[in-house]
Structure 1
Amino acid sequence: MDKILDIHHSWGALSSRKRIQESAGNNELQIIWQQELPNKDFSKAVYMMDEWLTRADANGGNYQLAKPTSAVDMCIDKSGEILHKGKTVWDGAWNNKTDGECTKLMPFYQGSRNVAGDDIAGDVFFCTLIPVHQAISAGFYGENNMSPYQNELEKIFSKGVCDYSQPDRARPANL
């Protein structure tokens, strides 16, 4: 869980990135900027996006050619100074790489589905269910001994819990 519980969860950036990579084959048109709190000045990001979109409009909509040199992944300190930037700064467990410099400083947390075993993309429409007792036996809960809570979990999840190792049961074929 992120330290500040609001709609601006850090793992959403990685979820988007993973979906874009799976769809487009790369993430050249998505950048991640994160700043230490308090992050009150968004003007650099707004100016960069304005430059990018204006240049793309002038280039017939070619966003790749219009991309400003400042449009790179980065992490920023409280005063607005760039700490680290580049293609690998947000690497980490999500893409099976060593943590990048920004990930080390500003780690990405997970949502409940990720903790339960879902991929960071979080794009499962309808998961395959498994009975709680089987999930406990299979080690779905990692180092947490959930046996004392089995009855309570079975009441809450009477139809079972998601087994994210199984295929999506409702994903449209055209996606």
Structure 2
Amino acid sequence: HWDDLRNVYGIDADGYGRSTWDNVGVQYGLAALKAGQITPAEFLKLNATAGSWKESKDMVQEGCPFLSFLCANPAQFDPWSRRNMRLSPDGGTTPAPRKQGDPIAMAAAYSSGLVFRGDIDIPIIDWRHYLERQLDMHNSHQSFASRQRMLNFDGDASNGVIWFTDGPPAFDQAPQAFAVMDEWMANIAAHPEQSVAQNKPAGAVDKCFNGDGSPIASGDGVWNGILDDEAAGACTQRFPLYSTSRIVAGGPIEGGIYKCQTKSVATAIADGTYGLWAPSAADTARLQQIFPTGVCDYSKPDAGKP
């Protein structure tokens, strides 16, 4: 990705595309710790061993399954690209190093328009198949990440609707979405004095569908409980969202944090970051060893934003 967009991110001293990827201060598994799903010892081990990606100049060729001809050799099986990770040399006793993102690349991402900040005033039907049951990169929370960015920008996301159809992909809801969009655009052309939201046709509402395309629920409130504290709506109940490592670490659902601002471990303990866990003196020392420059404070904006 970084080299593909080197014209945007720029080139580092070694001739590779600059990278925005940063995980300094990220406390993996924090929400699981607070929920009692992992123990403090597991939380500490997870963060001591998480590590980061190697610098581009140090990376080597991928193995199986990325290159199928290598799969005949079991030693080449490397589905998570371990060979390109920076890991602890002794299983976590020495914390694995984290990676600093390049601030020049982060600034370029913002200034070039690569970052969607929520500033959009066209009609939107965000339709997708629900694929959370599969190991699929098209995770469903992205629909709500976009909506939250719109809300963050000006408090209004009424020009967009979210549709889910149960997967794996079978029924194609696209013709229905195009028909609604065509009606919506015709309304805008006929009534340019009205806003995009005011020109919504009756079909332009939040919805969810069964795998055969039949409707489950539609209207205001069907996605309640995702971006608010309301009771879960009908679609929210039918299509639960899985999380991501950064959200579980305390990050916002909309992402948008290339590099977190940090607070000291002592501050994190004092302000209740760890929930019911009260780290001992030994635990505190270990946290400070893992996070020598502090832990992420997601109440503050992106440190990478110019």
TM-score, normalising length: structure 1: 0.74
Aligned to 2:143: 13
Task: Tell whether 2:224 aligns with 1:87.
Answer: no
Aligned mates of 2:135, 2:275 — CA distance in 1 = 24
CA distance 1:119–1:80, change in 2 (3 Å): same
Aligned to 2:24: none
Aligned to 1:107: 240
One-letter amino acid matched to 1:118? G
Paired residues, number: 171
CA distance 1:117–1:27, change in 2 (3 Å): same
Is the Cα–Cα contact under 8 Å of residues 11 and 111 in structure 1 kept in the other structure?
Answer: no
- Structure 1 spans left out of the alignment, 5+ residues: none
Aligned mates of 1:93, 1:143 — CA distance in 2 = 24
Aligned mates of 2:180, 2:287 — CA distance in 1 = 48
Give the superposition deviation at 1:46. 2.0
Task: Tell whether 2:134 aligns with 1:31.
Answer: no
C-alpha RMSD over aligned residues = 3.4
CA distance 1:45–1:126, change in 2 (3 Å): same
Aligned mates of 1:154, 1:10 — CA distance in 2 = 35
Is the Cα–Cα contact under 8 Å of residues 226 and 236 in structure 2 kept in the other structure?
Answer: no
The 10-residue stretch of structure 1 (80-89 or 40-49) with the greater mean CA deviation from structure 2? 40-49
Aligned to 2:10: none
Aligned mates of 2:299, 2:153 — CA distance in 1 = 21
- Structure 2 spans left out of the alignment, 5+ residues: 1-130
Pick from 175, 178, 181 the counterpart of residue 46 of structure 1. 178
Is the Cα–Cα contact under 8 Å of residues 256 and 302 in structure 2 kept in the other structure?
Answer: no
Give the superposition deviation at 1:164. 1.3
Aligned residue for 2:161, secondary structure, equals: coil
TM-score, normalising length: structure 2: 0.46
One-letter amino acid matched to 1:119? P
